[in-house]
Structure 1
Amino acid sequence: MSDFAEGTVHRAADDLKTAIRADADVLALWQGLTPLGRNEFICWVEDARQAATRERRIRRTIEEMQEGKRRPCCWPGCPHRDDKPPSRWQQAMAAKKDAR
């Protein structure tokens, strides 16, 4: 069994795992999230197109967990889950993204 809890759909990449494992308190916060909560953070990080954005999102993941948040702020949710249809907000965000 892995010592790093994963999401429901996504698996954390090495850079995210390294950042979270760097602090035992942060790792405990991560392990205490629900699988869906972890999945949302992983998806948010993976959605970054540029390395700088990805690094910023990894730092923000840690900050948000330390602030008590259980999912990323201002994220419409993982569009990769197949257990429920996308919400209207997810559909609108996807349409905006496709228009770029």
Structure 2
Amino acid sequence: LPVVDWRFERDIKKKQLLNYSIDFGVCIFCGNCVEYCPTNCLSMTEEYELSTSDRHELNYNQIALGRLPMSIIGDYTIQTVMNSTQIKIDKDKPFDSRTITNY
């Protein structure tokens, strides 16, 4: 279940999030927290191996939630594209991302 800690900022009249954590010990991976997140900051992952001998280790704060799972970090097929060419777009033609043909 998501646990949030926030304070109300009077000058901008909005809540500011201070801390955020999810207890995966009680999570059923339904995705409701992702669906109802007002800022679209949460996403589901395919990492479901969360076994541990201490259930308190399953409480992830915002720092732990921001880390990538080790299976993704160690994947040699995922890498940045180096020296990619820029696409030149003619300013007179209307831009349509599906029909860019002049590379």
The TM-score bracket by the shorter chain reads: under 0.3
Name whichever structure is richer in helix by fraction: 1
TM, length-normalised to structure 2: 0.27
Q: Which has the higher strand share?
A: 2
TM-score (structure 1 length as normaliser):
0.27
